[in-house]
Chain A
Amino acid sequence: MEKRVIFRSWWLPYLLVAPQLAITIVFFFLPAGQAVWQSLLNQDPFGINVEFVGLDNFAMLMRDEHYLASFRVTAVFSVLVASFGLVISLILAVFADRALRGAGVYKMLLIWPYAVAHAVAAVLWLFLFNPTLGIVAHWIKGLGIAWDPLLDGTDAMILVVVAAVWNQISYNFLFFLAGLQSIPKSLIEAAAIDGAGPGRRFVTIVFPLLSPTTFFLLVVNIVYAFFNTFAIIDAATGGGPGQATEILVYKVYKDGFKALDLGSSAAQSVILMAIVIALTVVQFRYVERKVQY
């Protein structure tokens, strides 16, 4: 049965949702609308000269080598963050699910990184990987590998991926653990009696039953890599060296606030908006349907 509340006056329900609506409108719809409008304009940094240019900003972006490079960086970055983030947290969750003693402590320790702010996490890893000060950098050099994230683009990418993954593992871990624990034990036992060893049970029973969780996390992690890692990039590398870690959302900020090219920055935001809308639609369409089995 659907639960329905009957209000005596017509305005009360509107009043009750008004604060949430106001926040959504002021902080989401208005800026989004403004971004769309600005993406069609060309204006100087002080807003004195404004010219309507239609889709010129978008057309220019499509020809801009730097923008396309940023797309590639974002693709590499999000694939790495999502895949490492999911695989590592799944492995950790499987172990946590099996742990008999100290499971509580183990879980708590794994959840901690989520409480660390992105910028703090970035600085933490920046120090650990710092070529002169960092202990991890020291170990890497001990292995005879040249390491300098300040000069080498690949090293910088590794650094931000590690920081981003480390920050996100807790979240993925919690969902995977909940997913694992919701699989009835008797299913695993039935598979064991049917002759499947632990590896086979994981591949044929556990993983398929986790697939709704995995898909949900995949979308969440891609969105995370696309947008929420801004602070990590900003604090750790500032998009550099060169353009090696300049992901789309960071380029929006750089072009808009540092280069003061408002039209191009707005056009980039609109493209990002389209991407996140598409991801959300996929998530709702696909995940909602697949969760039931």
Chain B
Amino acid sequence: MAKVELRGVRKSYGPLEVIHGVDARVADGEFIVIVGPSGCGKSTLLRMVAGLETITVGEIAIGDAVVNEREPKDRDIAMVFQNYALYPHMSVYDNMAYGLRIRGMSKAEIDGRVKKAAGILELGPLLERKPRQLSGGQRQRVAMGRAIVREPKVFLFDEPLSNLDAKLRVQMRFEIQKLHRQLGTTSLYVTHDQVEAMTLAQRMIVMNAGRAEQIGTPMEVYEDPATQFVAGFIGSPSMNFLPGKGAGAGKIALEHGGIVHHAAGQVDTGRSVVVGIRPEHLVVADPADAFFAGTVELIEQLGADTLVHVAHGADSSIVRRPHGLQPEPGSTLHVSADPSSVFLFDAASGARLR
């Protein structure tokens, strides 16, 4: 086990820079999720840690050693790939034993390690099978088994659950968590799924367009997003954004009518801002206290909750309401929120205004 440090890491393909300087510290034994939309550079970053991509500028250290110039095999890491990358011509046992045999381990020790990993992952009865004879979830477990037997310093996961169906994904999420608790190995986990990120991460790195926009625990990121991008990416359904302008102390005048009260600092009158309020923080209010009024467009019933889509000029907001309280489509809804749950972002840069 070891800590991992990224120091000013950049990646360019020719003149095109795709990662614009990422700094992050992963503590020993920590489970870090790198999350972001596709194309944000999260997989590239992980592959740089693995040694599958060169580092253009900056340093990556595993433990106390800078590994920039080391081959993947000398970095003491194990990786789980999105498509599992199991060796199709080898049995499950051989798949797991492959790396150990190369390292010249004794037969008895290999057997012990493979059996132990198979026990943890409940792969015992499948050891003699070929990958093609396994289901998606079983292949996924073999891929993890192959990583576990190596007993590496760091686990790297590259979207390992995205090829599984929804139910299996939830189950594997739980198993990965359990595994991490059991083994305590430092882990870097890449995903585009913010639910996976929220549930698995001890801390998460939210990436956008080659930059780490925010690093923090899931709750920090949810409650205190650093940018409009992070605020919109984390949370489901995503945060409502309404354009407006500063209108005196603690007030924002919305572009499509209405006044929002906020608890953030001074906003110059007339300054363009974006107001962000999460669907779960919007409440139905008396017309006198409401931020704004809108027309109910659509109602989505999720069972426990109901999502009410409210049109407000050209904007549309979602209000999350408990089951059973639903307005008629076409009716007018007056909504408001606690000023402390109102976020403000700079309209041009997307930076958070506090």
Contacts and interface: CB of A to CB of B under 8 A. Distances in A.
A91 interface: no
A189 interface: yes
Nearest to B73: A195
Given A189-B52, A293-B132, A195 B99 contact: yes
A73 interface: no
A292 B150 CA distance: 29
A43 to B, nearest CB: 55
Contact of A204 (B77, B81, B98, B103): B98
A205 B98 CA distance: 10
A186 B102 contact: no
A293 B129 CA distance: 12
Given A204-B98, A293-B132, A190 B85 contact: yes
B102 A200 contact: yes
Nearest to B89: A208
Nearest to A209: B89
A209 to B, nearest CB: 6
B88 A293 contact: yes
Interface in B25-58: 50-52
Nearest to A192: B72
Contact of A189 (B81, B103, B146): B81
A281 B102 CA distance: 39
B102 A189 contact: no
B110 to A, nearest CB: 13
A98 to B, nearest CB: 16
Given A186-B85, A209-B89, A196 B102 contact: yes
Chain A interface mostly helix, strand, loop or mixed? helix
Contacts of A184: 83, 85
B87 interface: yes
A192 B85 CA distance: 12
Interface in B58-82: 71-73, 77-79, 81-82
B105 to A, nearest CB: 11
A193 B102 contact: no
Chain B, interface size category, equals 20 to 34
A194 interface: yes
B130 interface: yes
A292 B71 CA distance: 33
Chain A, interface size category, equals 20 to 34
A187 interface: yes
Contacts of A192: 52, 71-73
Given A189-B52, A190-B79, A190-B81, A195 B89 contact: no
A231 interface: no
A110 B72 CA distance: 33
A212 to B, nearest CB: 10
A186 B83 contact: yes
B50 A293 contact: no
A37 B146 CA distance: 63
A287 interface: no
B87 A205 contact: yes
Interface string B99-141: 1001100000000000000000000000000101000000000
Interface in A259-284: none
Contacts of B132: 292-293
A196 B73 contact: yes
Contacts of B72: 189, 192-193
Nearest to B102: A195
A91 to B, nearest CB: 22
A192 B88 CA distance: 16
A290 to B, nearest CB: 10
A40 B45 CA distance: 75
A293 B78 CA distance: 25
Given A189-B52, A293-B130, A293-B132, A194 B98 contact: yes
B79 to A, nearest CB: 5
B318 to A, nearest CB: 38
A192 B82 CA distance: 16
Contacts of B103: 195
Contacts of B102: 194-196, 200
Interface of A: 184, 186-187, 189-197, 200, 204-205, 208-209, 211, 292-293
Given A196-B102, A205-B87, 13 more contacts: A189-B50, A189-B72, A190-B87, A191-B87, A191-B98, A193-B51, A193-B73, A193-B78, A194-B102, A195-B73, A195-B103, A209-B88, A209-B89
6 contacts: A190-B79, A193-B51, A194-B146, A196-B73, A196-B102, A200-B102
